[in-house]
A and B are shown apart, each in its own frame.
Chain A
Amino acid sequence: AQKITQTQPGMFVQEKEAVTLDCTYDTSDQSYGLFWYKQPSSGEMIFLIYQGSYDEQNATEGRYSLNFQKARKSANLVISASQLGDSAMYFCAMREGTHSGYALNFGKGTSLLVTP
C-alpha cells in the first residue's frame, strides 16, 4: 500500500502568489517524521522542511511552512511568495520508527511551475 500520497501531479502558480502542495500519509507508528524535498531539473534533492509527529507547532523555514494535521494524516507544504526558481519537482517523504534503517518512503511527487 502507498505510504505517501501526493494527489497533484502538476501545479501552476503565478509569481509572488502562495501555493499549497498536498501530502497524505499512512502509518500506524506513533513516532514518525515527515520531510519535504525539492528536486530541480538537475536532479539533486534539496531538503526543505521537517515535521516530527510529536511537534505541536507547524514547522516553518523561511518561505516554506508545513500545514500538519495529524488526525487527518496530512502534511501539506505551503510556499509563500513564489519565485521563478521554485519551479521543480517536490517530494513528500516519511520516516517511520526504525523501518528500513530510517530510510524514507517517498510520494510520487508534484511538479510545480511558477509563471511570470
Chain B
Amino acid sequence: DGGITQSPKYLFRKEGQNVTLSCEQNLNHDAMYWYRQDPGQGLRLIYYSQIVNDFQKGDIAEGYSVSREKKESFPLTVTSAQKNPTAFYLCASSTQDRGARQPQHFGDGTRLSIL
C-alpha cells in the first residue's frame, strides 16, 4: 500500500540537542511538506520541497532545517535554536499539478517533547 511513514512516533529532546524526524513516502509524489501543529491550533507550514535537492522555507522555518536528497525522503531537523519545539509534527506529500483534485497525503505524525 502506498503511503507516508513518519518515525519515531514519540521523540524527546534535551536542551541544546538537535533531533531529526524521518519522513518517507512511496507515492511517487514530487512535493513534500512539513507542518507543525500546536494544541488547539491548525497546521502551520515549516518547509516544503517541490523537487529533489531543492526546498523552500514556509511560514515558521526558524530553528528548523531539512534536506531532500531522494524523492522519497524529506527529513526534518529540529535544532537547538528552536526554543519551543514541543508540538505535533506532520509530514505530507502531493502531486504538483496545479489543477489537481488529489489531496495532500499525511503521515501519522511525530510528537516531540522537551525533557
Where the two chains meet, the residues of A that have a C-beta atom closer than 8 Å to any C-beta of B are: 4, 9, 31, 33, 35, 37, 42-45, 47, 50, 52, 91, 93, 97-98, 100-104, 106-109
Contact = CB atoms under 8 A, between A and B. Distances in A.
Contacts of B58: 100, 103
Nearest to B102: A50
Contacts of B88: 43
25 contacts: A4-B42, A35-B103, A35-B104, A37-B103, A43-B109, A44-B106, A44-B107, A44-B109, A45-B90, A47-B103, A47-B104, A50-B101, A97-B98, A100-B45, A100-B48, A102-B96, A102-B98, A103-B33, A103-B48, A103-B58, A104-B45, A106-B42, A106-B44, A108-B40, A109-B41
Given A44-B106, A50-B101, A50-B103, A101 B42 contact: no
A51 B103 CA distance: 11
A101 B29 CA distance: 13
Contact of B48 (A4, A52, A101, A108): A101
Given A44-B109, A108-B42, A109-B42, A101 B50 contact: yes
